[in-house]
Structures are given as structure tokens and as C-alpha cells.
A = this chain, B = another copy of it.
Amino acid sequence: MSPATVIREVGLRDGLQSIATIVSTAHKIEWLNAAYAAGQREIEVGSFVPARLLPQLADTVEVLAHALTLQGLTASVLVPNLQGAERAIDSGAHLMVVPLSASHAHSLANLRKTPDEVVAEVARIRAARDAAGSRTLIEGGVGTAFGCTLQGEVAESEVLRLMQALLDAGADRVSLADTVGYADPVGVQRLFEKARALVGERLACAHFHDTRGMGLANAYAAWQTGITRFDACLAGIGGCPHAPGASGNVTTEDLAFMLERMGVATGLDVPALLALRQRVQGWLVGETLHGTLWQAGLPRTLAPALA
């Protein structure tokens, strides 16, 4: 039976991409195996971008190949363009996430394309996928959906328009991301309700950062609208190179604990995630990690049930 919610681990991609310390392929595979053993069944393993731009993710093809050996694991990669998508298709990734910034300014700075040029690229990616007879799913990830460090406010109408445009261009599903930590729970509820009214279950995932401490509050607000898939990073690593101060994805182990404590099954072994965090911490000496559960520990009342 599937758990009620899925936490998609994006630490190996969104987390590591902003970390200076290069993590070896062997350690990434160790992370993958331990995350899988802790119950994680959806993992973003890397990004098909030029290795010179992101040396940290240069081994994505190797990490993905290992991920594909893990029974029942949905392995996703980020692809910024058609070239990346072709590599994802060739490698047999289950899912490729194509990022789009609803903020025009952030889109130009981060992707060097306008949002509508990204939509056009998704149409080309869909054509390539279909031509290859591939089953790699396409997810359009709408970022800076709640505001932008560069341009300020981002209109909800623009977020919804681009989300629909991605689906019209051939994306199988979409997600909404607070790339820079601007979202609040009331805004999350409003936008996710509108988005679900528009595209239903094709709105597949919520991606929050904890920049101003609202990551879990926002996840809760999204969950209340019916969202059951959340991106998160072990140890809360991650950020955005074009969003100064916007570091820190929602922390996997904290989110898992909150959901379990809420009575919402995640399929995850929280103590095993805490143990994995400790191993990963050992590979990231000098890097800033986040999260609270590792410090406070499991509460007495829940510890036996979770252990």
C-alpha cells in the first residue's frame, strides 16, 4: 500500500548543487542506498547540465544508473533544456523536471531564457520524448511562484498561466516552488487551491524553502489543499545561486516527523533518516546544515512507535 504522502528527496540535486564540497560518486550511492532503506521511493539524483557549470553533479549519469537498480524507486533528474532532456531519455530516468521561473527577471538570470521560451523548450522536449518512444515523464517545475529576490512580487495570474502553458506544451505534470523563501501559508493555500482548481491532480508536488522559518507551515498549508508530494532535502541543504540568503530547503527529516506526528503516513523510518543525516554531515564538513529534529531528538511519546 502506498503511503498517504511522499517526500521526494532532492538533497542529491537541489541540496548538493549549492554545496562547495564535492561529494564523491561512492558517497552519493551510499546516500541513495540508505535513503532507499529508510523508505524513500522518489529521489532526484542529479541534473543534466554541462559539467563545467555544476561539477558537483557531473556524475549524474552514474548515480542515475545505480538509482535505476533500486526496485520501486522513481529516479528523477533536473534538465534545463532539450540537450539535458535527451540525456535523461537516453539514461532511462523515470522523470525529468524542467525548471521554469515565473519571475521574468529570475528566469533570465538563472536560465537565460524568458518563461515562455522555457515553455517552447518543453514542447521540443515532449516531441523528443515521444519520438524516442520513451516513458520518461516530464514535470514542469514553476519556480519563484511566491515572489522573487530580483523582481519582487510575482503575479498569481502569471504563475497560473505558465503552469497551464507547460501542460499545454506537453508536460505530464507540474509543481510549484517557493525558490527563494517568500511564501507564507495563506499565500500557499490561495495559490495551491487556484492551481488545483485549474489542473487537478496534474499539480503533483510542492517545493518549499525554509529561509524565513515558514517551510513547515507552508508544507502544512499545501497539505491542507490536498497536495501529497513534497520536495525536501536531508539536513535542509540547498538554495539558489541567484537568490542571496535564500539557502535551505525544507528539511526531509523534520518534514517526515511533522507528517508522521500529524498521523499522515510517509513510509519513512525517521530514526534511519537521522542516522543518514549524521553520515552525510560527515561528508560536508564546514558546510551550513539546517533542521531541528536532530538537535531536539524524537519526543519520548513518539520515539517507541517510530523506532
Contact A301 B182 (CB under 8 A): yes
Q: Mark A194-222, 1 if CB is under 8 A from B, else 0.
A: 00000000000000001111111101110
Which A residues from 243 to 292 make CB contacts under 8 A with B? Answer: 245-246, 251, 254, 257-258, 261-264, 291-292
Residue of B nearest to A216 (CB): B217
- Chain B residues closer than 8 Å to A214, beta-carbon distance: 216, 258, 261
At the interface with chain B, which of A15-23, A123-131, A145-153?
A145-153
- Chain B residues closer than 8 Å to A297, beta-carbon distance: 245
Whether A185 is near chain B, meaning CB under 8 Å from some CB there, is yes
Q: Given A220-B217, A301-B147, does the pair A184, B293 have CB atoms closer than 8 Å? A: no
Whether A307 is near chain B, meaning CB under 8 Å from some CB there, is no
A246 to B296, CA, bound (A): 7
Pick the contact of A184 from B149, B261, B295 — CB < 8 Å? B261
Contact B153 A301 (CB under 8 A): yes
A296 to B217, CA, bound (A): 17
- Chain B residues closer than 8 Å to A216, beta-carbon distance: 213-214, 216-217
Which A residues from 214 to 250 make CB contacts under 8 A with B? Answer: 214-217, 219-221, 245-246
Number of residues on chain A facing chain B (CB within 8 A): 43
Contact A300 B217 (CB under 8 A): no
- Chain B residues closer than 8 Å to A212, beta-carbon distance: 254, 257-258, 292-293, 296, 299
Min CB gap A208→B, angstroms? 11
Residue of B nearest to A150 (CB): B300
Residue of B nearest to A245 (CB): B296
Q: Given A147-B301, A153-B301, A301-B152, does the pair A213, B261 have CB atoms closer than 8 Å? A: no
Residue of B nearest to A184 (CB): B261
A235 to B116, CA, bound (A): 43
Pick the contact of A152 from B187, B263, B264, B300 — CB < 8 Å? B300
Which A residues from 18 to 69 make CB contacts under 8 A with B? Answer: none
A245 to B300, CA, bound (A): 12
Contact A213 B293 (CB under 8 A): yes
Whether A70 is near chain B, meaning CB under 8 Å from some CB there, is no
Pick the contact of A220 from B152, B220, B246, B293 — CB < 8 Å? B220
Which A residues from 159 to 188 make CB contacts under 8 A with B? Answer: 180-182, 184-187
Name, among A153, A212, A254, the residue most crowded by chain B CB atoms within 10 Å (CB to CB): A212
Give the top 5 A-B pairs by smallest Cβ distance, nearest first.
A213-B292, A184-B261, A186-B262, A152-B301, A217-B217
Q: List 25 A-B contacts (CB under 8 A).
A: A148-B301, A149-B299, A152-B300, A152-B301, A153-B301, A180-B299, A181-B299, A182-B299, A182-B301, A184-B258, A184-B262, A186-B261, A186-B262, A186-B264, A187-B262, A211-B296, A212-B296, A213-B254, A213-B293, A214-B258, A216-B216, A217-B220, A220-B220, A220-B221, A245-B296
